[in-house]
Chain A
Amino acid sequence: MKKIVFCFAFIAALGCCNAVFASSALDAFKGQEGVVKVAGGTAHIPVIKEAAKRIARFNPKVIVTVAGGGSGVGIRQVGEGLVDIGDAGRSATEEEISRYNLVQVKWAVDGVGVVVSPENSVKSLSTEQLQQIFAGTISNWKELGGEDHAIDLYDRDSASGTRAVFVKKALKKGAVNGGANVVVSNGAMKTAIAGDPYGIGYVSVGHIDSTVTPVALDGVVPTIPSVQDGSYPVARGLYSLTRGEPAGLSALLLNYLLSPEGQKIVEEKGFIGVK
């Protein structure tokens, strides 16, 4: 499992200039000490990473470690007490919540957009066309006004939070053809689509850059503003979960994410704040 651990300890250098970074949102961390372990959804990582960096700069004795693994892993690991906070790109099911006594906090909103290669001339699809493409009934770009070439479908693994919201809100729970290639992360999806002129897949809107082209769904292009004003409907919350009510450093971290400064980080990383 890919594990990214961040321990920023600029102890000596920054010990004397805490005042520079002191802001009301971080004040709660004053005098605190310890480690917060976070794991789960890969979409969350950039935000938690940045928050960890700022907290460590303010108080080097508070260390936040961030690991990936996906939404399913996040929920399971926090439920089993392996980490303090589990991240999920979907709401935990009632069964998961009651089994582990979980409490979830939503701190950002993220859109999921259909993407194709920049070389592809098809830039707009209707929900019906999208359903047919992913079901396999439309299997050639020619049928959509593109080149005469088979469509290469790219899908995510079934534990992916991105996939869960895509199937529910973009495909309206339509089937995905079993012949689709399956990739393991938002990053891998972007690499695959960027390299395949005949591919179609979907990524978190925060991940869309110049290597892939977003496809308008029913006339609305998935962008941060269109997700924000609700005109692009395929969106999901980014959640953090704790076992029982958040306490100690976990509570402080979640409060920080919901503070104006935390919400600013959320927006800087390409997501939409909840406050």
Chain B
Amino acid sequence: MTRLIRAAAMVTGICTIAVFFMMLILGWPLFSHGHLLALLVGGWNPGSGQFGILPMIAGSTAIAGGALLVGTPLSLGVAFVTAVFARGRIRRVLLSCVRLMSGVPTVVYGFVALIYLVPFIRSQFHSGSGFSILTSSLVLGLLISPTMIVLFVSALDGVDPRARRAAAALGATPAQRLLYLQLSEALPGLLSGVVMGLGRAMGDTFISLMLAGNSINMPGGVLESARTLTAHIALVMAVDFHSLEFQSIYLCGFVLYLFTFMLVLILRAVNHRFQRGRVQ
């Protein structure tokens, strides 16, 4: 049994590393030609031979950042209520709603937003077509919330019950216990929830493909159309396999990979620091 589990872990690890090397090998023509910098910081215009992915990097960052701005306060609120204020049945109902939300396929969110949110944004702001960074950030924020809520709740619940009882015995109300005890104790867990949410927002393809508009211009405002790295991969996939245009996909994959890698590193560093702080 142990051997089986170990083998499964090994396969997962090897796959992750293999994907990295596959992208490196397949994208090698790009890297070796020396125009890597032009591809990373240039604009996208296949008609005139420009295959830069900077607008997509900006699009991904803006939409994922926006999703985090929407999703974090929302998730924190739900997590506070679930973990601290609600008891018994209300808590169970809230938690099962959150689980249900995480089970709704992405395309359903995208489709509902396409029918209702896109025309609403268009009519509210009189600028742009409604396919925008704002639209996809709003929906994406909702989409990443269940992941964040579950992690937040488990972090808040994980605070030592003895400390919580002690605080209660000292006369602290639930709100005071949350503010002065649970928040600071659960901070690493809360932060890792945010980082996970960001990772999910960055990796999502369908919401941005359906709602962000996919324009190839550098986004200049939240009401403008933008294209994410993931949507770009989906859009360019159909072009001629041997073209430079297609090979830029590997660079997109590479950038996404590095981004996730960096997030994991940040997560590790945060947890490490907090643990050291606690020992002292």
Q: Residues 217-245 of chain B: 1 if any A CB is under 8 Å from the residue's CB, otherwise 0?
A: 10000001101000000111111111001
Please determine whether A196 and B238 come into contact, CB atoms closer than 8 angstroms.
Answer: no
Please determine whether B225 and A69 come into contact, CB atoms closer than 8 angstroms.
Answer: no
Give B224's nearest chain A residue, CB to CB: A179
| CB-defined contacts of B234 to chain A, threshold 8 Å | 184
User: What is the CB-to-nearest-CB distance from B238 to chain A, in angstroms, rounded to a whole number?
Assistant: 4
| CB-defined contacts of A181 to chain B, threshold 8 Å | 129, 131, 213-215, 225
| CB-defined contacts of B129 to chain A, threshold 8 Å | 152, 154, 181, 196, 198-199
| CB-defined contacts of A157 to chain B, threshold 8 Å | 214, 235-236, 238
* CB contact list, B168-227 vs A, under 8 A: 209, 213-217, 224-225, 227
In the assembled complex, the Cα of A70 lies from the Cα of B46 at a distance in Å of 18
| CB-defined contacts of B217 to chain A, threshold 8 Å | 177-179
In the assembled complex, the Cα of A6 lies from the Cα of B216 at a distance in Å of 36
| CB-defined contacts of A72 to chain B, threshold 8 Å | 238-240
Please determine whether B213 and A158 come into contact, CB atoms closer than 8 angstroms.
Answer: no
Give B47's nearest chain A residue, CB to CB: A175
Q: Residues 127-146 of chain B: 1 if any A CB is under 8 Å from the residue's CB, otherwise 0?
A: 11111000000000000000
Instruction: Out of B122, B237, B239, name the residue touching A196 (CB < 8 Å).
Output: B122
Which of B43, B119, B237 lies at the interface centre, i.e. has the most chain A CB atoms within 10 A of its CB? Answer: B237
| CB-defined contacts of A46 to chain B, threshold 8 Å | none
Please determine whether A191 and B114 come into contact, CB atoms closer than 8 angstroms.
Answer: yes
Give A75's nearest chain B residue, CB to CB: B240
Is B275 located at the chain interface by the 8 A CB criterion? no
In the assembled complex, the Cα of A149 lies from the Cα of B125 at a distance in Å of 12
Please determine whether B47 and A182 come into contact, CB atoms closer than 8 angstroms.
Answer: no
| Total contacting residues, chain A, CB less than 8 A | 32
Please determine whether A152 and B128 come into contact, CB atoms closer than 8 angstroms.
Answer: yes
| CB-defined contacts of A69 to chain B, threshold 8 Å | 238
User: What is the CB-to-nearest-CB distance from A225 to chain B, in angstroms, rounded to a whole number?
Assistant: 32
| CB-defined contacts of A152 to chain B, threshold 8 Å | 128-129
In the assembled complex, the Cα of A99 lies from the Cα of B216 at a distance in Å of 30
| CB-defined contacts of A179 to chain B, threshold 8 Å | 215, 217, 224-225
Is B118 located at the chain interface by the 8 A CB criterion? yes
| CB-defined contacts of A105 to chain B, threshold 8 Å | none
In the assembled complex, the Cα of A191 lies from the Cα of B130 at a distance in Å of 14
Please determine whether B235 and A184 come into contact, CB atoms closer than 8 angstroms.
Answer: yes
Is A233 located at the chain interface by the 8 A CB criterion? no
Is B45 located at the chain interface by the 8 A CB criterion? yes
A residues apposed to B, CB below 8 Å: 69-73, 75-76, 96, 99, 149-150, 152, 154, 157-160, 175, 177-184, 191-192, 195-196, 198-199
- Given contacts A70-B238, A149-B126, 17 further A-B pairs with CB under 8 A are A96-B240, A158-B235, A159-B237, A159-B239, A159-B240, A177-B217, A178-B43, A179-B224, A181-B129, A181-B213, A181-B214, A181-B215, A182-B213, A182-B214, A183-B214, A196-B122, A199-B129
